[in-house]
Amino acid sequence: MVKAVVGANWGDEGKGKITDMLARESDIIVRFQGGANAGHTIVNNYGKFALHTLPSGVFYTHTANIIGNGVALNIPILTEEIKSITDRGVPAPRILVSDRAQIVMPYHILQDQYEEERLGGKSFGSTKSGIAPFYSDKYAKIGFQVSELFEEELLREKVAGVCEIKNVLFTHLYQKPAIDPEELLAALHKYKEMIAPYVCDVSAYLAQAIRDGKTILLEGQLGTLKDPDHGIYPMVTSSSTLAAYGAIGAGIPPYEIRQIITVCKAYSSAVGAGAFVSEIFGSQADELRRRGGDGGEFGATTGRPRRMGWFDCVASKYGCRLQGTTDVAFTVLDVLGYLDEIPVCVGYELDGKITTEFPVTAKLEQAKPVFKMLPGWKSDIRGIREYENLPENCREYVEFIESQIGYPITMVSNGPGREDIIYRKSVLQK
Ligand code: GDP
């Protein structure tokens, strides 16, 4: 049984918490895309952790945690992250890295920084983790697969070839120092030693696991609106954030993915540039940001304050549709308990008409939000375990949003911990 946990929106929906929670009943957790550019925050009995590269199953001793071929693998960050959790008392996790995963090279990180400097104010809000140059090189067919670290002659040749291209860019376009091929090769030798204990033929491993009836959890990073095809291009990430890509980025048949749990947060937040129709500003935004998530809405990787907004039914309906949602996990609902009234964006005003279909980027920039006010519940809902015990206005908020997006909300998260979850049967469930 393969399940995917993915985001409906701009990321930071609380996927880490849901994955950590579901990992208890899973055998294998797989990261299938993205890199160390975004983070998941997880709160459990070992403490609070921000993971960037490790799958969110690493806190259990019964799980295998896989970095799939679709991931942008930053080897030093992976090694540091393993150390950072084991230093805090977490038992050494079982980690497998695909021999086909490609490596984020030191020059990708430099290129990302140089490009941001060059663009100045017109930048895309990159986290400068080398992700965009990494994926460009992957598709330009000058990337390095993990398996190539173990082929010395090939490695030497490829390094020389790539340095030729990169050094034209570095010295001429960016006016920066050239890369020394020998230094680069030495770094790759170190990478080889660091990664050797984890390398695995992941697709073969997963094929066997599927035959053995294991439960596999695909863990997505970011959300639909950051997908390079279906998101707010060009303000997107460089790898697909959709559950469908889980099949490719892990190396399994698409029809094996039976459950797609799309995570939606009870309000909106976004990082980086780009249109954000239900965005709010000023003291209203500051208050939601301060109260949001678990200790405020600030980036897990960058510490940047997130942009804040009300729940957006248009974006979330679209986000759920593209994921192929079977279940919605509705998170961080507890945070809204302070509000007298809660605005919800139910439509976009565009060219004098109201639409509930998410438009292409050029149109999105012109869209104005249409808000509906729902009554607040003015109480703390943390600790409640039964859906019926939630305040009536709170249930109405959940049910209103469910009816707008059209996908069943089967889980409601009312706190950051593993146990802060309410399961419910939705009228939309088949
Ligand atoms: P991810 O990237 O989708 O995993 O999301 P993040 O980890 O960046 O952001 C989610 C934040 O919300 C984290 O700080 C979580 O601990 C926290 N969180 C998750 N679910 C809940 C919830 O139901 N209530 C509260 N208050 N915080 C939550």
Q: Is the CB of 294 under 6 A from ligand 1?
A: yes
Per residue in 85-121, pLDDT (tens digit) is 999 999 999 999 999 999 999 999 999 999 989 988 6
Whether the full predicted model's pTM is greater than 0.85, yes or no, is yes
Whole-angstrom distance between the N-terminal and C-terminal Cα of the chain?
Answer: 19
Distance, CA 417 to ligand 1 centroid (Å)?
Answer: 9
pLDDT tens sequence across 297-321: 987 667 789 999 999 999 999 999 9
CA 330 to ligand 1 centroid distance, Å? 11
Query: Can you tell me the distance from the alpha carbon of 331 to that of 333, in angstroms, rounded to the nearest whole number?
Result: 5
Residue 12 designated active-site: yes
Would you say 292 and 335 are in contact if contact means Cβ atoms under 8 Å apart? yes
**pLDDT per residue over 186-214, tens digit each?**
999 999 999 999 999 999 999 999 999 99
Determine the pLDDT at residue 291: 95
What separation in Å is there between the alpha carbon of 128 and the centre of ligand 1? 23
For ligand 1, pick from 29, 267, 306, 332 the residue to mutate: most ligand atoms within 8 Å of CB. Answer: 332
Kindly tell me if the per-residue pLDDT of 353 is higher than 90: yes
13 lines ligand 1 (CB under 6 A): yes
For atom 8 of ligand 1, the residue with the nearest CA is 12
97 alpha carbon – ligand 1 mean position (Å): 26
Residue at token pair 């860019």? 169
Close Cβ partners of 399 (under 8 Å, ≥ 6 residues apart): none
pLDDT at 177 over 70: yes
**Catalytic annotation on 40?**
yes
